[in-house]
């Protein structure tokens, strides 16, 4: 996108108490794009037929509002939709859900950018480390940072560790457990984490490539916290 689009978005945010989101919509006509944008505004906010809230305070405040809809090349449109901060509160996960929840499942819809008013910038100041922090950790100061997952489910620890070693030697900077690797008998959590960390260190010694290994610490209840401490 042209940086002018972002500049205008920020300017609009400065004069509004709502946060703005840009979606790119694939559509064959402006009317069709408008219908899609309206469906996004409904789905990302109240998530029910509009007739259920029409004429109420919810319709006036909570429902997303289409602020702008403009062409963006052949069969594509940019929709700027605003939402009220009150619908998000101080819940970051709800903020992400409202940006691109169920609409992420719709074909031909892409989240492009968002802009927050000052009140939300104080609530959500941004990542602790950010892009520069990740670059410092990986030692990749320019260009793309490569990331991959080790898989598939059912692979023993020794083979998973070998994948980590090969990926790190090959220049992959971030290597993560696949999301379905937990504490299965063929790849127990502690054994897997220890072996993969050793593989990352061995790859650094052999190739000079510094990589990060990210363990999947998900678990039932407090088990996820305990696994995170073990991994650390």
Which residues share a beta bridge with 148? 175
Q: Are strands 174-177 and 147-150 parallel, antiparallel or unpaired?
A: parallel
Q: Kindly report, residue by residue over 188-227, the tens digit of the pLDDT.
A: 999 999 999 999 999 999 999 999 999 999 999 999 999 9
Identical fold for domains 3-123 and 131-231, yes or no, is no
Q: Which CATH superfamily is domain 3-123 in?
A: RuBisCO large subunit, N-terminal domain (3.30.70.150)
Does 14 have pLDDT greater than 70?
no
Backbone angles phi, psi at 86, to 5 degrees: -60, -25
CA 206 – CA 176 distance, rounded (Å): 20
4: pLDDT strictly greater than 60: no
User: Inter-axis angle of helices 157-169 and 189-207, to 10 degrees?
Assistant: 30
Could you tell me which residues are beta bridge partners of residue 111?
23
| Segments making up each domain of the chain, as ranges | 3-123, 131-231
CB atoms near residue 206 (< 10 Å): 11
**Which CATH architecture is the domain 131-231 placed in?**
Alpha-Beta Barrel (3.20)
Q: Tell me how far CA of residue 207 lies from CA of 93, 156, 171, 204, in angstroms.
A: 39, 24, 9, 5
């Amino acid at each position: 996108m042209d940086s002018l689009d972002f500049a205008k978005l920020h300017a609009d945010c400065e004069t509004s108490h709502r946060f703005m989101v840009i979606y790119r919509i694939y559509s064959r006509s402006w009317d069709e794009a408008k219908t899609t944008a309206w469906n996004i505004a409904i789905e990302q906010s109240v998530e029910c037929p509009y007739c259920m809230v029409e004429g109420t305070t919810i319709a006036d405040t909570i429902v997303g509002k289409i602020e702008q809809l403009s062409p963006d090349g052949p069969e594509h449109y940019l929709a700027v939709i605003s939402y009220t901060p009150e619908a998000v509160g101080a819940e970051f996960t709800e903020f992400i859900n409202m940006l691109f929840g169920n609409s992420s499942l719709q074909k031909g819809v892409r989240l492009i950018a968002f802009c927050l008013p000052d009140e939300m910038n104080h609530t959500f100041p941004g990542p602790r480390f950010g892009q520069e922090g990740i670059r410092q950790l990986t030692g990749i100061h320019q260009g793309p940072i490569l990331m991959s997952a080790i898989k598939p489910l059912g692979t023993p620890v020794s083979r998973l560790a070998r994948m980590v070693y090969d990926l790190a030697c090959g220049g992959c900077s971030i290597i993560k457990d696949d999301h379905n690797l937990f504490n299965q008998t063929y790849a127990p959590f502690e054994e897997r984490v220890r072996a993969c960390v050793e593989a990352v260190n061995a790859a650094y010694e052999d190739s000079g490539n510094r990589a990060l290994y990210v363990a999947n610490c998900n678990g039932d209840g407090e088990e996820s916290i305990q696994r995170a401490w073990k991994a650390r």
